[in-house]
């Protein structure tokens, strides 16, 4: 060695070893000899923070009727650190939980502090609460809290509009650990999902003195350090409560969908997908029974038919066909076809519903003459046809603010080239597209959007449910912006097509029976062919004819003709929205009669 280090090394060695043993001795003294006294100190009175869930924002309709609010419920929580698993069977029985549910829950959140409460059941019944209170001495680690649950006081279901809340998934929880705690509810469908951040609010904190069993024994400093919750912002929907209610009534025991839009703004006035499901049940029950039931139901109530189901638009597409032909100058309004009950193309005969005789463009819409449109389709040309369809929103998503949506099928040249091969198909094979059959498939909301475009001469906005929100800080209304949808077509063309649609109701057309005194309606019936059973009834309409305020599309599954089954529904919806007072008067009159 290059210098004498022996002694110095020894000195350092003894300092290190010496200190090591001092520490070990001190630990031995504290953790072994004085452990009992320290343990007592540790479990003495201490302060514990309780996070208080913020009330979610209220959801209003366009006239500030409360559609969705909150109601207080009792929720049972379990704190694993103080809980004994021997109680599992008893508790599972009392609270109506499946066997093994508690173990499963504990396992799921194994990696979280055992002092954080796990919510085991929401909205417990009063008897269960009494039982819990009476047996609290024996049930360490079980507590109940007053929590909030969604309430639907207006009496509409709106299951596909509002959507439901579910417990936050473990994955999401990891990514949003600042905003959410385990067991928190988070919007997982519909408006509750899309506007989660606006509706959520901020949690509050309350401090309690707790004993070693973590039972509350009083408020800490009389609540001086508590942080109040901040309620979520209130949403204002464009839904019209009474009209929505009417629409839901009209769809009772029917399967189908309805979308009503204000043409100029894109605001959705009413929106139904039937059958619906009960949001009340979903928001209170943790059990998977209700889920299993909904998921296996053959009528598919969870499926949003208004945005997800696709059907041939049938004859409801004819006004648009006429529009395309006129706008392209292929024909003018005087183009006439002599309908002899069908159209011969090559060796195939395409049928019409009736023998319409001499038919011009207006009459073709009014009477829904197929013969006319087989020929019109060939004149327009397939490529031109699909380009125009696309501009009216078909084949892509409308972008409505409730998530789940499908774009339908709009056949294009590329589509057939890919499917059948280039040169292996010709337009003659596609003639039935001209009457809205064949491989053309649309969603009800696309039909409503298209109707709105016709009604408002080619200008509307992305269909949406939410007009804006009321900011919690200052009660200011914050409107939300939506993008424009414009189709450049001459007003003259629109006027001709609209005249045809007007005659469907007010002329000798296919929906004469839905006239409402005082309101001029323009519409078009349709029937989507269904190879598996009864046809689906379709109807689109807008009103009032001069300054349209509402555009509606209705689809009713497996009932037959659109004029017979879908049009009357549209009539009631238009009446409800445009003549709200008359409805009220009727109720007053009938109430009066009952009174006598």
Among 2, 421, 595, 596, binds other proteins (CB under 8 A): 2
Minimum distance, C-beta of residue 12 to other proteins, in the bound complex (Å): 6
H/E element, 569 = helix 567-578
Q: How do 477-479 and 466-470 pair as beta strands?
A: antiparallel
27 binds other proteins (CB under 8 A): yes
Nearby residues of 517 by Cβ (< 8 Å), 6 or more positions away: none
Cα distance between residue 446 and residue 438, in whole Å = 17
Interface with other proteins, residue 209, by CB under 8 A: no
| Site stretch for other proteins (CB under 8 A), options 26-34, 340-348, 363-371, 571-579 | 26-34
Residue window 235-274: x/- pattern of binding to other proteins, with contact defined by CB under 8 A: ----------------------------------------
How far apart, in whole angstroms, are the C-alpha atoms of residue 268 and residue 261?
4
Kindly state whether residue 63 participates in binding other proteins, applying the rule CB under 8 A: no
Candidates 34-42, 434-442, 476-484, 536-544: pick the segment binding other proteins (CB under 8 A): 34-42
- Closer to other proteins by Cβ: residue 207 or 271: 207
For the chain, give the number of residues.
596
**Residue from the set 16, 170, 221, 476 that interacts with other proteins by CB under 8 A:** 16
The contact mask relative to other proteins for 166-205 (x = CB under 8 A, - = no) is -----------xx--x------------------------
> Is residue 593 a contact residue for other proteins (CB under 8 A)?
no
Cβ 48 to other proteins shortest distance, Å: 6
Please identify, using beta-carbon distances, which residue of 82 and 512 lies nearer to other proteins.
82
CA–CA gap between residue 505 and residue 574 (Å, rounded):
13
For position 85 contacting other proteins by CB under 8 A, the verdict is no
Nearer to other proteins (CB atom), residue 28 or residue 64: 28
> If binding means CB under 8 A, how many residues of this protein chain bind other proteins?
42
Nearer to other proteins, 23 or 217 (CB): 23
Question: Counting contacts by CB under 8 A, is residue 43 touching other proteins?
Answer: yes
| Cα four-point dihedral sign 565, 571, 576, 582 | negative
Among 48, 216, 219, 281, binds other proteins (CB under 8 A): 48
DSSP 82: G
Strands (E), 137-187: 142-151, 165-167, 185-187
Q: How far is the CB of 104 from other proteins (least distance, A)?
A: 19
152, 522, 550 from 240: Cα distances, Å: 15, 21, 11
Rg (CA), the chain: 33
- Residue 326's H or E segment, with its range, is helix 318-327
Distance of CA 129 to the CA centre of its chain: 34
Residue 24 contacts other proteins per CB under 8 A: yes
Instruction: Select the span of 39-47, 242-250, 305-313, 505-513 touching other proteins (CB under 8 A).
Output: 39-47
Residue 467 and residue 482 in contact, taking contact as beta carbons nearer than 8 Å = no
d(CA 98, CA 121): 11
Of 34 and 104, the one with the shorter C-beta distance to other proteins is 34
Residue 35 found at the interface with other proteins (CB under 8 A): yes
User: Interface with other proteins includes 217 (CB under 8 A)?
Assistant: no
Q: Which two tokens stand for residue 4?
A: 């004498």
Q: Is residue 22 involved in binding other proteins (CB under 8 A)?
A: yes
Nearest distance in Å: CB 422, other proteins: 54
Between 41 and 424, whose beta carbon lies closer to other proteins? 41
Nearest to 264 by CA among 579, 576, 570, 544: 544
Nearer to other proteins, 177 or 299 (CB): 177
Q: Are 318 and 365 in contact (CB under 8 A)?
A: yes
Residue range at the interface with other proteins (CB under 8 A); choices 22-30, 186-194, 309-317, 420-428:
22-30
Rounded CA gap, 468 and 64, in Å? 12
CA–CA distance, 84 with 241 (Å, rounded to integer): 49
Q: Which of 73, 74, 88, 112 binds other proteins (CB under 8 A)?
A: 112
CB 161, CB 271: distance < 8 Å: yes
| Residue 140 in the binding site for other proteins (CB under 8 A) | no
49 vs 290 by CB, closer to other proteins: 49
CB neighbour list of residue 567: distance below 8 Å, 6 or more residues apart:
511, 513, 514, 523, 525, 539, 541, 554
Residue 479 burial (10 A CB sphere; 0-12, 13-18, 19+): exposed
Q: Are 144 and 265 in contact (CB under 8 A)?
A: no
Question: What residues form DSSP beta bridges with 342?
Answer: 351
The CB density around residue 412, as the number of other CB atoms within 10 Å, is 17
For other proteins, give the closer residue by CB, 181 or 384: 181
Tell me if 28 contacts other proteins by CB under 8 A.
Answer: yes
Q: Which residue has the tokens 């238009």?
A: 574
Q: Is 211 in the site for other proteins (CB under 8 A)?
A: no
Segment contacting other proteins (CB under 8 A): 7-15, 99-107, 421-429, 461-469? 7-15
338 binds other proteins (CB under 8 A): no
Q: Is 8 a binder of other proteins (CB under 8 A)? A: yes
Q: Smallest distance from the beta carbon of 181 to other proteins, in angstroms?
A: 7
CB–CB of 549/262 below 8 Å?
yes
In 3D, which of 2, 568, 551, 593 has the Cα closest to residue 271?
Answer: 551
Query: Does residue 590 interact with other proteins by CB under 8 A?
Result: no
Residue 114 makes contact with other proteins by CB under 8 A: yes
Crossing angle for the helix pair 444-455 and 318-327, to the nearest 10 degrees:
50
41 near other proteins, judged by CB under 8 A = yes
433 secondary structure, DSSP code: G
Q: Closest distance between other proteins and the C-beta of residue 144, in Å?
A: 21
List residues near other proteins by CB under 8 A: 1-5, 8-9, 12-13, 16-17, 19-20, 22-24, 26-28, 30-32, 34-35, 37-39, 41-43, 46, 48, 81, 111-116, 177-178, 181
């Amino acid at each position: 060695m290059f210098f004498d280090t022996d002694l110095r090394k020894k000195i350092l060695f003894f300092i290190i070893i010496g200190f090591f043993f001092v520490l070990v001795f001190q630990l031995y003294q504290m953790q072994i000899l004085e452990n009992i006294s320290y343990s007592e100190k540790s479990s003495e009175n201490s302060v514990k923070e309780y996070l208080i869930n913020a009330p979610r924002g209220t959801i209003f309709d366009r006239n500030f009727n409360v559609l969705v609010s909150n109601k207080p419920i009792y929720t049972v929580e379990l704190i694993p650190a103080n809980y004994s698993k021997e109680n599992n069977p008893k508790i599972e029985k009392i609270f109506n939980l499946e066997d093994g549910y508690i173990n499963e829950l504990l396992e799921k959140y194994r990696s979280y502090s055992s002092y954080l409460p796990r919510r085991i059941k929401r909205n417990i019944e009063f008897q269960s609460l009494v039982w819990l209170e009476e047996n609290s001495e024996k049930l360490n680690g079980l507590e109940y809290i007053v929590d909030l649950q969604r309430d639907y006081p207006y009496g509409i279901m709106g299951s596909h509009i509002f959507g439901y809340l579910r417990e936050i998934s473990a994955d999401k929880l990891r990514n949003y650990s600042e905003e959410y705690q385990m067991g928190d509810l988070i919007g997982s469908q519909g408006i509750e999902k899309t506007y989660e951040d606006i509706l959520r609010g901020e949690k509050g904190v309350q401090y309690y003195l707790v004993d070693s069993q973590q039972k509350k024994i009083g408020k800490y400093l009389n609540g001086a350090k508590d942080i109040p919750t901040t309620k979520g912002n209130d949403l204002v929907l464009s839904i019209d409560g009474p009209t929505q209610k009417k629409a839901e009534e009209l769809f009772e025991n029917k399967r189908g969908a309805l979308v009503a839009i204000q043409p100029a703004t894109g605001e959705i006035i009413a929106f139904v997908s039937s059958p619906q499901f009960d949001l009340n049940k979903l928001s209170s029950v943790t059990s998977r029974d209700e889920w299993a039931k909904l998921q296996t139901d053959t009528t598919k109530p969870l499926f949003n038919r208004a945005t997800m189901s696709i059907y041939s638009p049938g004859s409801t597409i004819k006004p648009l066909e006429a529009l395309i032909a006129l706008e392209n100058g292929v024909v003018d309004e005087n183009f006439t076809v002599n309908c002899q009950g069908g159209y011969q193309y090559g060796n195939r005969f395409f049928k019409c519903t009736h023998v319409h005789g001499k038919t011009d463009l207006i009459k073709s819409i009014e009477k829904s003459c197929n013969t006319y449109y087989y020929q019109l389709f060939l004149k327009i040309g397939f490529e031109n046809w699909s380009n125009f369809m696309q501009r009216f929103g078909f084949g892509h998503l409308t972008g409505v603010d409730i998530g789940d949506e499908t774009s339908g099928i709009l056949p294009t040249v590329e589509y057939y080239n890919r499917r059948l091969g280039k040169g292996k198909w010709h337009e003659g094979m596609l003639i039935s597209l001209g009457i809205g059959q064949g491989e053309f498939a649309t969603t009800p909301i696309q039909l409503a959007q298209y109707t709105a475009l016709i009604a408002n001469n080619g200008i509307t906005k992305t269909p949406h449910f939410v007009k804006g929100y009321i900011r919690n800080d200052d009660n200011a209304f914050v409107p939300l912006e939506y993008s424009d949808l414009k189709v450049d077509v001459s007003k003259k063309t629109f006027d001709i097509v609209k005249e045809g649609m007007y005659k469907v109701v007010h002329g000798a057309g296919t929906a004469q029976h839905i006239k409402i005194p005082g309101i001029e309606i323009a519409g078009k019936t349709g029937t989507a062919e269904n190879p598996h059973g009864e046809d689906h009834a379709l109807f689109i309409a807008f009103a009032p004819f001069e300054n349209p305020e509402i555009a509606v599309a209705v689809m009713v599954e497996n009932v037959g003709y659109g004029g017979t089954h879908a049009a009357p529904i549209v009539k009631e919806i238009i009446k409800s929205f445009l003549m709200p007072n008359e409805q009220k008067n009727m109720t007053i009159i009938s109430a009066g009669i009952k009174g006598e």
